[in-house]
Amino acid sequence: MTPEQKDILLKLKDKTKQGKAAWKETSVDNKFVLDLEKYSISMQLYSGTALPQLYFEIINPKGKRIESFFAKQEDFGEDDIQSFFKLVRRRVLRVDEALKDILHELDSEDVVGGDGLTEPRHDSINF
114, 122 Cβ separation under 8 angstroms: no
| Residue 81, pLDDT score | 85
Considering the domain boundaries, does residue 62 fall inside one?
Answer: yes
- Looking at residue 1, its pLDDT comes to 85
Residue ranges of the chain with pLDDT lower than 70? 78, 114-127
Establish if 124 belongs to a structural domain. Answer: no
Q: What is the residue range of 30's domain?
A: 3-107
| Helix extents (H) in the chain | 3-17, 81-93, 95-107
Q: What does the pLDDT read at residue 83?
A: 87
Inside any domain, residue 20? yes
Q: Is residue 116 situated within a structural domain?
A: no
Cβ atoms of 46 and 54 within 8 Å: the answer is yes
Q: How many domains does the chain contain in total?
A: 1
Please report whether residue 114 resides in a domain: no
Residue 112 lies in a domain: no
Predicted local distance difference test score (pLDDT) of residue 26: 93
Whether 13 is covered by a domain: the verdict is yes
42 belongs to a structural domain = yes
20-29 own/partner pairs: CB under 8 Å, 24+ apart: 23/88, 23/91, 23/92, 24/92, 25/92, 25/93
pLDDT at residue number 123:
59
